[in-house]
Amino acid sequence: MADDNKALALGLKRRDPDLLDQLIEQYQYRLFRYLLYLTSSRERAEDFFQETWIRVLERGHQYDSKYKFEAWLFRIARNLVIDWQRAKKMQSLDALTDPEEGAPMEFAAQNQPSPLHLVLTAEEKSGVHASLDRIPTVYREVLVLRFQEELGLEEIAGVLAAPLSTVKSRLYRGLEALRGAMQGGAA
Amino acid sequence: MNENLHASAEKLIAQERIEGISQSEREWLATHLRECPSCTQVAQQTSAALSALRGLPIPLPRGLAARTQFRVQLRAQEMREREPKRRLLWIMCAMSWALGIATAPYVWRAFEWAGERIGMPKLVWEMGFGLWWTIPALVAAAVVVLENLRQAHERDQAR
């Protein structure tokens, strides 16, 4: 694993085109899924997906082989979303904080169905997709990173650039919110 | 049953999935769940929610990877083409510094002579000498900043 990461870091430093092609193939689903949950928009997720890989190319030399590649990748993707959001002056990234501390990051307009909701099939809308769509992005993000991407708590803290205690607290609240939302959907 | 017991059980149900729990906590929870239908329901709902989340399909846009690979290759090519220019800039900058160090005593005397000749205060010609030294670094920094601004602009347009 450590050797694999070292080889990966070396390849990224050299901007090895074959390695980049392979990484794009390998992580396309996971990265796109993460971006989709983060942005709630298929088009934006696609844009950020491409931009993320451009950043990986440009900043490959910054990858530290001590850490999982996917954690670094998600962090780049997240920072791009944050930069875009800041540029649009919608909310600061710290709005990706607890809803108690400020409004959660949501790209969808308040009174309209979110783009995530619009891309779902009718069947999906009645299930876990709809439940996820109902919970704040800050919780959705950590749930996706923990239970879909199976990152460790410290890795998630690295992606979010947040303290471990914040990650845990969001996970507990997120899990409760997901369970509640799924119960609400089922009722 | 004591409400605190239910609260503890619910906390452990979540903790088990988020952080993990100790063996003794697991045993206590298992015993509690055998006796408590409401907490068992919470545990089942939590498992069902996570299982649904893990198995959630996301439709991937067609050709996304290929389009991205193409863009990345284009950008890589662009970067490769710019590398020699950037290298030349750093070489020139380094040569300029080396030359600056080698000629510093003579340039100092030249500034001193010129300063005395036109009656300039010592502090002014000394500052002029300092500025003379920073010119290569300032030029290189300006080139890098302009280059980065141009790249950011290109990225914004591409988006």
* Cα separation, B106 vs B96, whole angstroms: 15
How many domains, in total, are found in chain B? 2
Q: Which residue segment(s) compose the domain that B49 sits in?
A: 3-54
* ipTM beyond cut 0.85: no
pLDDT tens digits, residue range B45-63?
899 888 888 887 888 899 9
Nearest Cα residue in chain A from B148: A58
In this prediction, residue B159 has a pLDDT band, given cuts at 50, 70 and 90, of low
φ, ψ dihedrals at A103, nearest 5°: -70, 135
B64-69: long-range contacts, CB 8 A cutoff, minimum separation 24: B64/A28, B64/A32, B64/A46, B64/A49, B65/A24, B65/A25, B65/A28, B67/A50, B68/A24, B68/A28, B68/A49, B68/A50, B68/A53, B69/A20, B69/A21, B69/A24, B69/A25
pLDDT tens digits, residue range A120-140?
554 455 567 777 778 888 999
Does A68 touch chain B if contact means CB atoms closer than 8 Å? no
* Cα separation, A31 vs A29, whole angstroms: 6
pLDDT tens digits, residue range A66-110?
889 999 999 999 999 988 888 876 555 555 555 544 444 444 444
Q: What is the mean pLDDT of residues B82-100?
A: 78
pLDDT tens digits, residue range B134-153?
877 788 788 778 877 877 77
- Judge whether B100 lies within some domain: yes
- Judge whether B136 lies within some domain: yes
State yes or no: pLDDT of B120 exceeds 90.
Answer: no
What pLDDT does B118 receive? 87
Same domain, B81 and B153: yes
pLDDT tens digits, residue range A19-44?
999 999 999 999 999 999 888 889 99
DSSP A152: -
Query: C-alpha angle A39/A40/A46, rounded to 5°?
Result: 65
What pLDDT does A91 receive? 52
What pLDDT does A95 receive? 53
Q: Which residue has the tokens 């591409």?
A: B158
Residue B20 host element (H or E): none
Q: Which of residues 151-170 of A touch B (CB under 8 A)?
A: 153, 168
Mutation to test the B interface, candidates A37, A48, A49, A164, most B Cβ within 10 Å: A49
Pick B65's closest partner by Cβ from A28, A47, A148.
A28
* Cα separation, A73 vs A59, whole angstroms: 11
Q: Which residue has the tokens 């002029």?
A: B128
B155/A42 touch (CB, cutoff 8 Å), yes or no: no
State yes or no: pLDDT of B158 exceeds 70.
Answer: no
- Judge whether B60 lies within some domain: no
Pick B18's closest partner by Cβ from A17, A28, A175.
A175
B4 vs A23 pLDDT, higher one: A23
Same domain, B11 and B80: no
How far does B104 lie from chain A, in Å, by closest CA? Answer: 36
- Judge whether B70 lies within some domain: no
Side chain identity at A46, as an amino acid letter?
A: E
Mutation to test the A interface, candidates B72, B79, B83, most A Cβ within 10 Å: B72
Please name the residue ranges forming H helices in chain A: 2-14, 17-39, 42-58, 69-87, 115-119, 122-125, 128-134, 137-143, 153-160, 164-186
Same domain, B98 and B145: yes
What pLDDT does A106 receive? 46
- Judge whether B15 lies within some domain: yes
